[in-house]
């Protein structure tokens, strides 16, 4: 009986996952871009790969707002790196996508729950979102811009959100719901 369960489970794991509903990614991207646009009066500079969801979301926003959405979108497709001719294109893509690639690398390195092989893999979206928020605080307020140079400056300091590097004590010192404390 146990072997039958194991083999059924193996078959289920080997099955290709069901694709997401066709419009879901576009809706999610569109909602995110709309939220960001509401907070940035000067518009957005969107640097992306050639994923079709970005183009579709921008086209949908352009149709919704006839006055223009002020999204400056530059697309950098990942070229075939085997041919010698595309080295220049690959270098341009790598330079343009550096910030995104670095963030992806840091998430994969620092956050074990993003790897399926570990027992810490996030199973509930609230847990994954909570860890992502903590990662964003660490990356922008606590971690220095570079570990190689002695400058004590964080990304949040660079754009003027704070005047000094934070510690975890600084972040955790303020209660989220201060009005709920009696007394």
pLDDT at 58: 82
Going by C-beta distance under 8 Å and a sequence separation of 6 or more, which residues neighbour residue 18? none
**What is the mean pLDDT of the segment spanning 30-55?**
82
C-alpha angle 54-45-113 in degrees, rounded to nearest 5: 60
Residue 39 has pLDDT above 70, yes or no: yes
- Convert the pLDDT of each residue in 91-102 to its tens digit: 888 899 888 888
| Cα dihedral 75, 78, 80, 81 sign | positive
C-alpha angle 68-40-34 in degrees, rounded to nearest 5: 60
Same domain, 158 and 89: no
Residue 183 has pLDDT above 60, yes or no: no
Overall pTM > 0.75: no
Residue ending a domain, choose from 64, 96, 128? 96
Same domain, 44 and 24: yes
Percent of the chain exceeding pLDDT 90 equals 7
Same domain, 126 and 84: no
**What is the mean pLDDT of the segment spanning 113-123?**
60
């Amino acid at each position: 009986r146990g072997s039958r369960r194991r083999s059924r489970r193996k078959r289920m794991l080997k099955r290709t996952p069901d694709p997401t509903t066709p419009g879901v990614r576009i809706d999610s991207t569109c909602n995110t871009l709309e939220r960001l646009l509401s907070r940035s009066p000067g518009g957005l500079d969107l640097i992306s790969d050639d994923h079709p969801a970005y183009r579709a979301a921008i086209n949908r926003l352009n149709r919704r707002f006839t006055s223009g959405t002020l999204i400056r979108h530059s697309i950098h497709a990942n070229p075939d790196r085997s041919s010698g001719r595309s080295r220049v294109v690959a270098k341009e893509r790598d330079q343009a996508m550096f910030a995104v690639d670095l963030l992806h690398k840091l998430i994969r390195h620092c956050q074990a729950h993003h790897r399926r092989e570990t027992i810490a893999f996030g199973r509930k979206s609230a847990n994954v979102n909570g860890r992502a928020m903590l990662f964003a605080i660490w990356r922008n307020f606590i971690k220095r811009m570079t570990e190689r140079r002695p400058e004590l400056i964080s990304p949040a300091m660079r754009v003027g959100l704070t005047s000094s590097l934070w510690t975890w004590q600084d972040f955790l010192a303020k209660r989220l719901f201060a009005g709920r404390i009696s007394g």
